[in-house]
Structure 1
């Protein structure tokens, strides 16, 4: 079932407590408000972010809704400007966004590898996946926000307990993180774009080094954390990820034009991945579980991308 059509790259979906959703349109900076399915309403324009859009992967990227949204209705967005990537907070009222207030700027921006996924963790802090913007040296540089997972407060400050003192950095050695999700044990999982060899699913631990650009995929080097699962780039290119009601990780694949399901074990290892929806909707950018349905967005660069609602069986979800 199509919940929204005619989108110019539907990059991120954020579900509101009332069952409606927001969709970011990467190429225009628009945020679209999709009514709760079954209510009969039509999608409306909630507002627009002041993006600078050039060729490549920048624009309006991730959206996030905090757990206390009902008490304090503020949304968060990750977007590109002429000079950087940044995160803004936006008040929400009567189906529209207010003036964005920048809480974090200076995230490196490039033609490619802009990261862009943001999500609130079980601890209430905002986690941010960034890319190295095409400069591989940034991933190992703890003085740069590029090629990292960040953990910040809603004011944009480094969250208490971060591993590098007053730094927002939570983990480093990443190439381009576009997926963040937590399982029932509150473990953080992240998807990682490889270059030519392997894409990755990583179990994220604070302060750890995930190896880029020194390694790609599993290396068995104790200086770096190996991925829990890896795939040839031809079958994956992972963007958004979600943890399903069965506590498996689901990865939206762009080049692979699929959803991959990865069962998780209590010890943090993974079972055998399975591939679903191969070629059915083209490139898949984001994925969420909403009620007893799975929502995906397409990313086919044709100004006709969609937000779709599918039965759980479409992606191989097991009974929870």
Structure 2
């Protein structure tokens, strides 16, 4: 696939199988490659979760744009609010945004947060550091103040690198000239000492700026080798996945996507521009990212997992061995939960997603907003036993027009229902053993759920209509 084609086709390859005997907590079982996974809602009723972090205490830490910081016990699903910041300005896309924990948290229990606030008639952004005392966050200390901000294009992710420095993304605050202005901290990647001072080895002496020319980077992720990736919102074209490097320029606003227009080529040659690894047109509204390399889901090893808001899907980007290019992409859970804001990978290979349908641009569903857990399960577990004899299948999948449904567990007739991603039943009929047909001729392309009720048993599976 030619990454320089701005209308790149992203390959959809979701092979799905819902459980025939799910627990109350498990919502569905799917396959990532050949690995069976469970998807489970671990928390509901929150409002615009923005950052997800797996803490060294085994809890999931997260922020909400209204100003709340919480910890979630992943065993009991009990949520505790540990801080509410009173001067957070939640307006448009502004509010409490990124969070990072100091990498040596046991000896330096410092929590870093980015939020927007009102400064007269202007919106600003600041980086603050709090201290975790075992029950709450205390002793807030402003590290960087008066960063340009707006009701949109504020960034902002935080991530510690293997070098022990804190990296922060900022948006252009709606003023495109900020991104190329060396005197503005907007539209940049900043590199910061843990105490808030400027590192002596930054590209420009006396400046936090580490990289420039960015529009609205809402995802940052490091590999253990120290490569830093960022997801950057494009305008109406060219969302980007970037490999972020010291002192490099990423082109905005003179360049969107690759250096492939005459004026762009000139600017790139003159300004040390680093082209993106991948670009999307139409845009997906790319958001949080994380690096996955755990053996429990081999299909996702050495990939960047990227959430998207407008496109409402998870994208996996397989990296080359050296991490310097993207060799393939796939899309997952297209429309399954709605807008996805962030993704977090735990040390044991579980994945957590923040659903963001209450952010003013989505359509909330019952229970929204929520946090989803994705975990691998053993194919020999009870709930996957004898799947070859009892598996519910839609044939073909994906399908267009007429399809066949088989379920060996259907011994007598029952009822089937087809449900769209909004939860509405759009078709129903008689389910007859050993197989029956369905028609999707009038369906819009996308994901649907087929559900069968028979003899007090309920089974379901997602399928894709092309």
- TM-score bracket for the superposition, by shorter chain length: over 0.9
| Partner residue in 1 for 2:374 | 310
Deviations 1:188-232 (A, max 9, x none): 111100001110000111111100000111114333211010112
| Partner residue in 2 for 1:270 | 326
> Is residue 32 of structure 1 aligned with residue 81 of structure 2?
no
1:1-320 matches, cutoff 5 A? 1-26=40-65, 28-35=66-73, 37-38=74-75, 40=76, 42-83=78-119, 84-220=124-260, 221=265, 222=269, 223=271, 224-234=273-283, 236-245=284-293, 246-265=301-320, 266=322, 268-290=324-346, 291-301=348-358, 302=364, 304-311=368-375
Contact 2:90 2:96 in 1 (8 A): no
Contact 1:15 1:65 in 2 (8 A): no
Q: CA RMSD in A?
A: 1.5
Task: Flag structure 1 segments of 5+ consecutive residues without an equivalent.
Answer: 314-320
Q: After TM superposition, where is structure 1 displaced by more than 4 Å over at least 4 residues in a row?
A: none
Instruction: State the TM-score, normalized to the length of structure 2.
Output: 0.64
SS at match of 1:137: helix
Deviation at 1:267, TM superposition (A): 5.8
* Bigger Rg, which one: 2
Instruction: State the TM-score, normalized to the length of structure 1.
Output: 0.93
Contact 1:131 1:174 in 2 (8 A): yes
Deviation at 1:76, TM superposition (A): 0.7
Whole-Å separation in 2 of the counterparts to 1:4 and 1:85: 29
Contact 2:50 2:341 in 1 (8 A): yes
Deviation at 1:105, TM superposition (A): 1.0
Deviation at 1:54, TM superposition (A): 4.4
SS at match of 1:115: coil
Q: Matched residue pairs, number? A: 309
Contact 2:90 2:116 in 1 (8 A): no
Contact 2:159 2:166 in 1 (8 A): yes
Whole-Å separation in 2 of the counterparts to 1:263 and 1:54: 35
SS at match of 1:81: strand
SS at match of 1:50: coil
Whole-Å separation in 2 of the counterparts to 1:16 and 1:55: 28
Whole-Å separation in 2 of the counterparts to 1:54 and 1:75: 20
Whole-Å separation in 1 of the counterparts to 2:157 and 2:315: 18
Deviation at 1:292, TM superposition (A): 2.4
Task: Flag structure 2 segments of 5+ consecutive residues without an equivalent.
Answer: 1-39, 294-300, 359-363, 378-466
Deviation at 1:312, TM superposition (A): 5.3
